[in-house]
């Protein structure tokens, strides 16, 4: 009997992409639950947010941006975290600098190759043009807590608000416009991925810090751009998803049950609210496995390899 395919491996239909202006020279590019990207137009360059999974996929976004704003070069390319779908298209931008949190740079070195193989196996459509990837993307500028970028026509802030979706997530904050590009710390009408996360910290202090920014416009990692008052809803939907996964997994562990039971309970409780959201079925086995590990005292997320992906998927979805 053939193994059950990963949920996202069967998702081969092209998504309709939308370029949304958020303020003068500030754009989000969303695609029906695919990873979101963004851009900020400065006086003499464009700051790009996220790189997509391959240079070919990145070029499709660049072509849209060129048609809208013209031929300015790319100055900074900002990566919100280390996952392959966010980073491996970087070479298409020919950016002067690649900026990320120091934790992201460390994770790329530690597990970037394994993550590349894992994500391509799980989500092949996002890796269209995989043969154009020249290798791992390595940041050229990193920071620990915060960094301000002077774009000439505005200043923006890069902030690390705590461990969450990964240990190196940053947000791009435009204080004057009150716009937040939150990466995968917040999802809007999309399921969070918790496989490399710190669930307890994410669902408490880190999301509290995101909420404290007081954003009026928020671009999450996936899903539509949200505007106040829906910003608070997106943050709380993300928090509720993570908290329900923690509480369900803890209940089963404390009762002497196993991983499969924890998966089934978490899925049952989350499905009424989230089952229609992009990548819900895709994320759930990996979310519960990571939550189980954290509750068992494994503080640092274990590296996902193609082999480990298959092992966990088969164990929980047969």
CATH assignment at residue 110:
3.60.15.10
**pLDDT for 264-294, tens place per residue?**
999 999 999 999 999 999 999 999 999 999 9
Q: For residue 157, list its beta bridge partners.
A: 148, 173
> What's the number of CA atoms in the CB half-sphere (13 Å) around residue 191?
25
Report the DSSP beta bridge partners of residue 122: none
- For residue 6, the 8-state DSSP code is P
Model confidence at 16, pLDDT cuts 50, 70, 90, reads confident
Q: Does residue 1 form part of some domain?
A: no
CB contact set of 139 (below 8 Å; sequence gap of 6+): 79, 98, 99, 100, 104, 105, 108
When divided into structural domains, the chain yields a total of 1
Average pLDDT of the residues of the chain = 95
In the structure encoding, which two tokens stand for residue 221, read together? 């990692």
Mean pLDDT of 155-178: 98
Residue 122 lies in a domain: yes
Percent of the chain with pLDDT over 70: 95
pLDDT at residue 178 above 80? yes
Mean pLDDT of 93-115: 98
In a domain, 258, yes or no: yes
Whether 2 maps to a domain, the answer reads: no
DSSP labels, 142-168: EESSEEEEE-SS-EEEEE---SSSSSS
Radius of gyration from C-alpha coordinates of the chain: 19
Distance CA 76, CA 311 (A): 39
* pLDDT of 186 strictly over 60: yes
Which stretches of the chain are assigned E, i.e. beta strand?
18-23, 26-31, 34-41, 46-49, 74-78, 97-101, 141-143, 146-150, 155-159, 171-174, 179-183, 217-220, 226-227
Domain that holds residue 254: 7-317
pLDDT at position 5: 65
Other beta carbons within 10 Å of 301: 20
pLDDT score, position 33: 82
Residue pLDDT, tens place only, 215-224: 999 999 999 9
Q: Has residue 42 been placed in a domain?
A: yes
């Amino acid at each position: 009997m053939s193994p059950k395919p990963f949920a996202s491996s069967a998702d081969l239909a092209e998504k309709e992409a939308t370029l949304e202006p958020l303020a003068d020279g500030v754009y989000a590019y969303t695609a029906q639950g695919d990873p979101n990207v963004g851009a900020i137009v400065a006086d003499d360059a464009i700051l790009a947010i996220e790189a997509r999974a391959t240079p070919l996929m990145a070029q499709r976004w660049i072509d849209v941006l060129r048609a809208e704003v013209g031929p300015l070069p790319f100055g900074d390319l900002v990566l919100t975290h280390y996952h392959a779908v966010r980073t491996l298209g970087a070479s298409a931008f020919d950016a002067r600098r690649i900026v990320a949190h120091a934790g992201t740079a460390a994770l790329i070195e530690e597990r970037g190759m394994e993550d590349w193989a894992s994500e391509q196996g799980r989500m092949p459509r996002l890796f269209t043009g995989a043969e154009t990837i020249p290798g791992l993307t390595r940041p050229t500028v990193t920071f620990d807590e915060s960094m301000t970028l002077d774009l000439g026509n505005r200043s923006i802030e890069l902030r690390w608000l705590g461990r969450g979706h990964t240990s190196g997530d940053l947000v791009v904050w435009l204080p004057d416009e009150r716009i937040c590009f939150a990466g995968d710390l917040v999802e809007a009408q999309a399921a969070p991925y918790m496989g490399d996360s710190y669930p307890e910290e994410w669902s408490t202090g880190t999301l509290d810090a995101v909420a404290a920014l007081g954003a009026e416009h928020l671009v999450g990692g996936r899903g539509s751009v949200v505007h106040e008052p829906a910003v608070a809803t997106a943050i709380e939907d993300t928090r509720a998803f993570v908290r329900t996964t923690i509480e369900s997994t803890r209940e089963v562990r404390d009762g002497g049950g196993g991983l499969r039971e924890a998966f089934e309970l978490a899925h049952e409780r989350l499905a009424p609210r989230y089952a229609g959201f992009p990548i819900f079925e895709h994320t759930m086995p990996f979310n519960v496995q990571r939550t189980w590990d954290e509750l068992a005292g494994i503080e640092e997320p274990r590296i996902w390899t193609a082999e480990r992906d298959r092992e966990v998927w088969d164990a929980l979805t047969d």
